[in-house]
Amino acid sequence: MFKNEEMEINLGPQHPSTHGVLRVKLRLDGETITHCKPVIGYLHRGVEKICENQTFFQGQVWTDRMDYCSAVANNLGWAEANEKLFGITVPRRAQYIRTLLNEFNRLASHLIWLATHALDIGAMTVFLYAFREREDILDMNEAFCGSRLTTTAFRIGGLREDLPPGFEKMARKFLAKFPTCLEEYENLLSENRIWKKRTVGVAMLSAEDAIALGVTGPVLRAAGVPYDIRKAFPYAAYAEMDFEVPTQTAADTYARYLVRMAEMRQSARIIQQCLDGMPEGPVMAKIPKILKPEVNEVYHATEAPKGEIGYYLVGEKGSTNPYRFHVRAPGFINLQSLPKMAEGGLIADIVAAIGTLDIVLGEIDR
Amino acid sequence: MPTPTLLQSIAITLIQCVLVVIFVFVVVPLTVFAERKVLGHLQQRLGSTRVASGHIGVTGWMNRGMWKWGRIPVLSYWRGIPGLVADVLKLILKEDIIPAKADKFVFFIAPAISMVSAVVVFAAISFVPGTFFIFPSWFPGLAGLPVSGGIADINVGLLWILGVASVGVYGIVLAGWASNSKYPLLGGLRSAAQMVSYEVPLAISLLAPVVLTGSLNFSEMAQRMATGTSAWGLVPQVFGFLIYLTCGFAETNRLPFDMPEAENELVAGFHTEYSGMKFGFFYLAEYINMTVVSALAAGFFLGGSWLLPFGLQGLVNKLLPAGAWIAGPHAIFFVAKIIFLLFTYIWVRGTIPRYRYDQVMSVAWKYLIPLALVNLLLAAFVRCAV
C-alpha cells in the first residue's frame, strides 16, 4: 500500500543560499540527501579565452571579475605570474603595499563568507554586522584605486600609484576597532548552542579526502593540514612577515569557522606589520611599453582567501598576447568536495556545506 | 442594570467583534513596523531607522523646520514609516499569481484558513475581566447596557483557544500541498510535524496555571491570580512560562524554529508560490498568531489584565476615586504585556540562528514534553499543598 520514493529536487540556480547561480541536483529520502550533484556553468563568460585575445596588460581587468569578492588577491596572482614570465623585479615598497591590500582583501572576503554563512544558518544579525566592517575596507579600496569591488589594483611591475594621503590613518583606525568587531561576531556565534548544533560534525571532509580532491585554503587547514602558500612558497612581502597559519583538526563546519576567524586575526597582524615597516622608495619597476615574453610558460600560485589560486600563462615568441591562459580557481576545485560533504546529511546541512566552502560562482564558471 | 434583549445582545457582540478586529489590525501593522525598527536598531540597519529623515514633504518639514521635531526622540520615531506604507501597498497591489498546476480551490482557501483560525482565537480572550464599559445614556437602543471585556467569556476558554489555533496548521499544510511544487511541499510537511509536536508541550504547559487557579476561563483565571498567593502565575510557573514561550515561538514559526519557511533552505517554504494578498494573509496570520501567543502568555502567566499581584490591586483601587474607569487602564496594561512579549519575539529573531529540522523535533519530544509534564506535576503538588 505504501511505498518509499526518492524525491529529486533542484537547489538553484535561483535559490537564496547557493551564493550565486550554483545549481545542485539533490535526491532526497525524506529530508536526507542520498545523492548530490553540483551543476555549474551558468556564469561562464570565457575569461581565459578572452585574456588570450588581449595583451598582457589588459588581462588584469578580467581577473577582477572572477572572484569578485577577492579581486585584489586575483590581481596579485595575475601581476606576479606576469612578472615571473617577464623576469621583472618589483620594488620593495610596492611589495609591501600589495601585501597590505591583499590582506585587507582577505578580511573583506572572509567577512562576506561569515556574513552569508551565518545568514544561511539563520543568524541574520551577524550578516549585517560583517557587512558594516567590510564597508570600511571597500572605502579603503576606493581611496586607493577609485574602485570598490573590481579593483584592478596592481600593474605588472608594481603599482600605478602610491598609497593616497590619509590611507594609513584609515587603515590604522580600522585596525584599532577590528578586534572588538571580531569579538562581537564571536559573542554571537562561537559558544551559541544553536550555532554549534548546526555546525559541529556537519559537512565533514577528512584530510585524505581533501588532499585527494585537491581542496585548498581554510577548508584544508580545518582538516589539520597546515598548507598555506604564504608560508610554503612566500611571495610578495610575506617572507618578511611574522604570522601563524591557524589549523584545526575536527574537519567540520565549526572547525572551518574557527580557522577563518583566526585567519582574520592573523591578517590584521600582517596589516599592522606592513603599516609599521612600510619602506620608502618607488612603487613601479622600469618596464617596457610593450611586453613580449622570453620564457615560454609559467605557473604561479598564490594564497587567495578561498584557497590556492594558480595562474598558468604560456607566452608565444613575438606575440603581445598570452598563447594560453588558464586559472586554477580555488572555488572550482573546492566545490568538487560538496557531494562528499553533503551526501547522507540533511537538506539543511547542504546549506551549511555550501556556506562553509565559501564559493563564488564568478570564479567557478569563469 | 437592564437585561439586554436578544437583538441588543447581538448588537453588543457585533460591536465587540468590530473592536477586537480593529485591535488586531492595528496591532499587526504596528508589530511589523516595530519589528523593522527594533531589528533596525539591533542590526544597525540603515533603511528602517532612517527612511524619511530626508528633506521633502511633511517629514522633511518636520526635520528642517524651525523646531526640528525630528530631533525629539519620540517624534523621530516616524522614520521608517514610508517603508511600512510601501510594503502594505505592495502586498495589496501586487499581481496575484496562481500556478497553472496548482489545486486552485485549496490554493485559494489555505490562506483564509490560516487567517480565520488566527483571528477567531480572540473570541475567548478577555481584555478586561468583567465589564469593559457601559453604554452612555445617550446611546440609541443600547443605553445603560454593559459591554464585557471579551467577546465570549466562555468557561472552556482554553479548550476553544487551543482547538481553534490548531486548525491553523491546516492552512499551512494545504498551502504546501496545493502549490504542487517541491519546496512548498517540504515546508508543509515540516510544519505539519513541527506544529503538531509543539502543540503537546504547549498545552501541557498551559495546564499548570489551570491547575493552580482551578479555572479554564480567561477572565476568571486573571481574577484568581490577582488575589490569593498564586500571584501572577509567573512566580510559581517560571519554568512553565519558559516552556510555553519556547513552544509559542515554534507554533508561530518564528526563529529559531522557522522550519516551515526556512528561507535559506526552502526558499520561502510553504508560501513560496504565493504572491500578493494571498501571501499577505499568511504574513498577517503569522503576526496575529504572535499576538495570540503573547496574549495567552499575558493571561496565563503574567496575571491577565490586572495591574498588580499579591492583592496590591485592592490597595490601588482604594486610592482611586470612587467610580473611576478602572477597566481602561487594565486593558492598557494587558496590551502593554502583549507588546513586551512581541518585543521578545523580535529580540530573539535578531540574536540567534535557526535549528535544524531534526533538532527542532528532538527539542520538542526529548526535552519540552517531559519538562512540561514535570512542571504540571509540581503544579498539582503545590495546588494540593496550598
Inspect the interface and report whether the beta carbons of A194 and B352 lie closer than 8 Å: yes
Query: pTM for the complete prediction?
Result: 0.80
Q: For residue B367, what is the DSSP state?
A: I
Average pLDDT of chain A, as a whole number: 87
User: Among partner residues A31, A129, A188, which is closest to B357 by beta-carbon distance?
Assistant: A31
pLDDT at residue B252 in the model: 82
The label of the residue with cell 580532491 reads A213
Average pLDDT over residues A278-302: 83
pLDDT at residue A192 in the model: 85
pLDDT score of B230 more than 60: no
Beta strands in A186-261 (DSSP E): none
User: Looking at the domain A7-365, which fold is it?
Assistant: Cytochrome-c3 Hydrogenase; chain B (1.10.645)
Q: Residue B378 — very low, low, confident or very high, per pLDDT cuts 50/70/90?
A: confident
pLDDT at residue A204 in the model: 87
Q: Residue B213 — very low, low, confident or very high, per pLDDT cuts 50/70/90?
A: confident
pLDDT at residue A26 in the model: 87
Residue A355 CB: number of other CB atoms within 10 A? 26
Q: How far apart are CA B333 and CA B94, in angstroms?
A: 38
Q: How far apart are CA B228 and CA B311, in angstroms?
A: 7
Q: Residue B325 — very low, low, confident or very high, per pLDDT cuts 50/70/90?
A: low
User: Among partner residues A7, A192, A351, which is closest to B264 by beta-carbon distance?
Assistant: A351
pLDDT at residue B312 in the model: 62
pLDDT at residue A110 in the model: 92
**Portion 340-359 of A in contact with B at CB < 8 A:** 346-349, 351
pLDDT score of B373 more than 60: yes
Identify residues of B whose CB sits under 8 angstroms from chain A CBs.
Answer: 39, 42-45, 182-183, 186, 190, 255-256, 258, 262-267, 349-359
pLDDT score of B102 more than 60: yes
Inspect the interface and report whether the beta carbons of A197 and B350 lie closer than 8 Å: no
For the stretch B258-277, pLDDT in tens is 766 666 667 777 888 888 88
pLDDT at residue B101 in the model: 82
What percentage of chain A carries pLDDT values higher than 90? 13
Q: Is A200 on the interface with B (CB under 8 A)?
A: no
Inspect the interface and report whether the beta carbons of B267 and A124 lie closer than 8 Å: no
For the stretch A312-337, pLDDT in tens is 988 887 788 888 889 998 989 999 89
Nearest CA in chain A to B359: A197
Inspect the interface and report whether the beta carbons of A129 and B43 lie closer than 8 Å: yes
For the stretch A108-149, pLDDT in tens is 999 999 998 888 888 888 888 888 889 889 989 888 888 888
Q: Residue A270 — very low, low, confident or very high, per pLDDT cuts 50/70/90?
A: very high
Average pLDDT of chain B, as a whole number: 77
DSSP H helices, chain B, are 6-43, 47-50, 57-64, 81-93, 104-120, 157-178, 182-213, 218-226, 238-251, 263-266, 276-300, 312-319, 327-349, 357-362, 369-385
Distance from CA of A357 to the nearest CA of B (A): 16
Angle subtended at Cα B293 by Cα B289 and Cα B299, rounded to the nearest 5 degrees: 140
Q: How far apart are CA B208 and CA B37, in angstroms?
A: 35
Distance from CA of B255 to the nearest CA of A (A): 8
For the stretch A335-352, pLDDT in tens is 989 898 888 888 888 888
Preferred mutation among B191, B346, B352 to probe A, highest tally of A CBs within 10 A: B352
Nearest CA in chain B to A29: B186
Instruction: Retrieve residue B115's grid coordinates.
Output: 487567517
Inspect the interface and report whether the beta carbons of A31 and B45 lie closer than 8 Å: no
Inspect the interface and report whether the beta carbons of B264 and A192 lie closer than 8 Å: no
Inspect the interface and report whether the beta carbons of B264 and A198 lie closer than 8 Å: no
pLDDT at residue B334 in the model: 79
pLDDT at residue B52 in the model: 54
Weakest mean pLDDT among A263-272, B6-15, B59-68, B355-364: B59-68
What percentage of chain B carries pLDDT values higher than 70? 77
Inspect the interface and report whether the beta carbons of B359 and A197 lie closer than 8 Å: yes
For the stretch A60-69, pLDDT in tens is 888 888 888 8
Instruction: Retrieve residue A357's grid coordinates.
Output: 566552502
Size of interface A-B (CB pairs under 8 A): 79
What percentage of chain A carries pLDDT values higher than 70? 99
Q: How far apart are CA B71 and CA B75, in angstroms?
A: 7
H or E element at residue A85: helix A71-86
Q: Residue B73 — very low, low, confident or very high, per pLDDT cuts 50/70/90?
A: low
Inspect the interface and report whether the beta carbons of B265 and A348 lie closer than 8 Å: yes
Q: How far apart are CA B279 and CA B127, in angstroms?
A: 29
For the stretch B14-31, pLDDT in tens is 888 888 888 888 888 888
pLDDT at residue A111 in the model: 92
User: Among partner residues B42, B182, B353, which is closest to A121 by beta-carbon distance?
Assistant: B353
Average pLDDT over residues B233-262: 77
pLDDT score of B175 more than 60: yes
ipTM of the complex model? 0.70
Average pLDDT over residues A258-278: 90
User: How do the domains of chain A map onto residue ranges?
Assistant: 7-365
Inspect the interface and report whether the beta carbons of A188 and B351 lie closer than 8 Å: yes
Nearest CA in chain B to A127: B43
Q: Residue B231 — very low, low, confident or very high, per pLDDT cuts 50/70/90?
A: low
Q: Is A196 on the interface with B (CB under 8 A)?
A: no
| Long-range contacts formed by A233-239: CB under 8 A, 24+ apart | A233/A301, A235/A80, A235/A300, A235/A302, A236/A76, A236/A80, A236/A95, A236/A98, A236/A99, A236/A102, A236/A302, A237/A92, A237/A95, A237/A96, A237/A98, A237/A99, A237/A274, A238/A99, A238/A270
Q: Residue B191 — very low, low, confident or very high, per pLDDT cuts 50/70/90?
A: confident
Nearest CA in chain A to B347: A125
Distance from CA of A198 to the nearest CA of B (A): 7
Q: Residue B33 — very low, low, confident or very high, per pLDDT cuts 50/70/90?
A: confident
Whether the Cβ atoms of residue A77 and residue A84 lie closer than 8 Å to each other: no
Instruction: Retrieve residue A245's grid coordinates.
Output: 597559519
Instruction: Retrieve residue B109's grid coordinates.
Output: 482557501
Residue A29 CB: number of other CB atoms within 10 A? 12
